[in-house]
Amino acid sequence: AAGLQVTWVHGARTAAELCAESDAERVVWATDDGSQGTAGTAVAAAPEADVVLACGPNRMLAAVAERWPDAQVAVETYMGCGTGVCLGCAVPLRRGGYDRACTEGPVYRAADIDWEVLPSHLPYAVTV
């Protein structure tokens, strides 16, 4: 990141669900309930940027794709075999067809994914 300004944007439902404090110079915190940082989503709280790298729930990544189509996003999906044989990690593409997240991904240009078809959540990722 030499010569670049890096801003880390971290969001969660509540302050209790945020990770520990960061050593990063520029951090934007966002909580759905407003208990720490900006009230609302991390996507809404994020400043404008020339380059966006994002990870998190697919629903959030779809919002990233709307705001920054060229963002690089790491999708959340099942990866059963890790070799692409089982097709459990299929990622629908806007151009048609699918990629396998375990072999061609899991990082994609946000605008390349068909967010209407990709599952917005995975049962194992849900916290109570």
* Residues written for the chain: 128
Q: Residues 53-112: pLDDT tens digits?
A: 999 999 999 999 999 999 999 998 888 898 989 988 999 999 999 999 999 999 999 999
Contacts of 92 (CB under 8 A, 6+ apart): 98, 113, 114, 117, 118
Instruction: Determine the pLDDT at residue 118.
Output: 87
Instruction: Determine the pLDDT at residue 2.
Output: 74
Does any domain span residue 31? yes
Does any domain span residue 126? no
Instruction: Provide the residue range defining the domain that includes 115.
Output: 51-121
Confidence (pTM): 0.84
Does any domain span residue 127? no
* Both tokens assigned to 106: 């899991």
Mean pLDDT, all residues of the chain: 88
Residues 55 and 117 grouped into a single domain: yes
Contacts of 20 (CB under 8 A, 6+ apart): none
